[in-house]
Each structure stands twice: as C-alpha cells, then as structure tokens.
Amino acid sequence: MKPWKTLSRHTILEHSKYLTVENHEIELPDGTIIPDWPWIITPDFVNVIAVSYEGKFLCFRQTKYAIEGVTIAPVGGYIEDNEDPLVAAKRELLEETGYEASQWIHLGSFCLMPNRNKAIGHSYLARDAKYVKPPDSDDLEEQELLLLDQNELEKILLQGEIKVSSWANTVALALLRLKSKEG
C-alpha cells in the first residue's frame, strides 16, 4: 500500500491556535489528483477516566455546543504547545475536578479524523484519585461532576449517553483494562 502525497497546501483560515483550515492538493496512489482537499489543524488532546480510591469513576454531565441535549463526558482538554500528553492529562484532571491520581495507565493514542486532520487523542486511566483542592476549570460548558460506580458507567456507555466517540473509546478502554488482569 502506498500513502497519499501532498503536492501543495495553502491556508484558507487561520482562526486561532485551536483551528486552522488548509486546502491541499493531493495525489492518490493510483495517480489521481484531487486539487481541493480540506485539511483541518487542531491541537492534540487528552481524555482521562479517573477512578477515586473509593472506586468511583469521575465523569461529567454536561452540554456541548454541537450535541443535542446532555452527554456524559470524561475529563479532557487540549495539550498545550510542547506539553507531554501525560502532563496535560494530570493538569486537566486537577483543573477540572480538583483531583490528583497516583497511578496512570496510558490506554492508547488515536487519530480522530485520519483523512481530514492528524490531531491525536491520548486516552488515560487514572487510578486512586483523591480530592486535593477546588477545581479551577475554564470550560465554557455547564457541567456537573458525577461519581459513578462501575455498573453505572457501563450502563451509561451501553445506552449511548456518552455522545462523543473519543470519550466513549476512552471509557470502553478503561473498563476493559480494569476487567483484565493488567488493570
């Protein structure tokens, strides 16, 4: 298999550090040229499913601009320039919940939209989380911190109450990891 080739690119929109849109001219492996391939540049991000030392999963009930109604969400956010993903995960957990965790397990790193964007989401399971200070979140959405047991979280996942694929992926991987011998 051969990769696609980028023949040229130019910026269409440079909105902020969170969004740039480019137009690429690409060549497919069979030689076909596509002159107008939109490419979206956004930062890499982290998603964290944290479990308190009492065995409760920290999640949010929240709204998101593009989602109808409410969704259940793990902790998450963008990685700052030159920030290590694990450092970002720890920062986001503390900022959003006021918790710190003593045990961190990397669940994987995944591309969300491989034909339109190369942003990578890094998924983590944080164990033995303890409350250390009030949260200092800059999230724009209204949100409520939930402390769920494993059965409640599994039910929420299976009922589709987690409405973002990277979040559902992180929760599913964390639950699988906890059920495995490695968890």
Please state whether beta strands 57-62 and 71-73 pair in parallel, antiparallel, or not at all (unpaired): antiparallel
79 and 118 together in one domain:
yes
36 and 66 together in one domain:
no
Classify each residue of 4-14 as buried b or exposed e, where b means 16 or more C-beta atoms within 10 Å of its C-beta.
Answer: eeeeeeeeeee
Q: What is the pLDDT of residues 19-37, one digit of tens each?
A: 999 999 999 999 999 999 9
Report CA-CA distances (Å) from 104 to 14, 48, 100. Answer: 35, 10, 10
99 and 160 together in one domain:
yes
146 and 82 together in one domain:
yes
pTM: 0.92
Structural domain boundaries enclosing 86: 45-179
pLDDT for 137 equals 74
CA distance 177 to 157: 15
171 and 146 together in one domain:
yes
Q: What is the pLDDT of residues 58-116, one digit of tens each?
A: 999 999 889 999 999 999 999 999 999 999 999 999 999 999 999 999 999 999 898 89
pLDDT surpasses 60 at 5: yes
28 and 67 together in one domain:
no
Domains: count for the chain: 2
Residue 166 tokens read as 């990277």
Angle 150-158/165-179 helices, nearest 10 degrees? 140
In this structure, what CATH number is given to the domain that contains residue 155?
A: 3.90.79.10
27 and 114 together in one domain:
no
pLDDT for 132 equals 97
pLDDT band at 138 (very low <50, low <70, confident <90, very high): confident
83 and 146 together in one domain:
yes
pLDDT over 70 percentage in the chain:
97
71 and 9 together in one domain:
no
pLDDT surpasses 80 at 181: no
118 and 30 together in one domain:
no
pLDDT surpasses 60 at 183: no
72 and 22 together in one domain:
no
98 and 112 together in one domain:
yes
pLDDT surpasses 90 at 11: yes
- Give the mean model confidence (pLDDT) for residues 152-167: 97
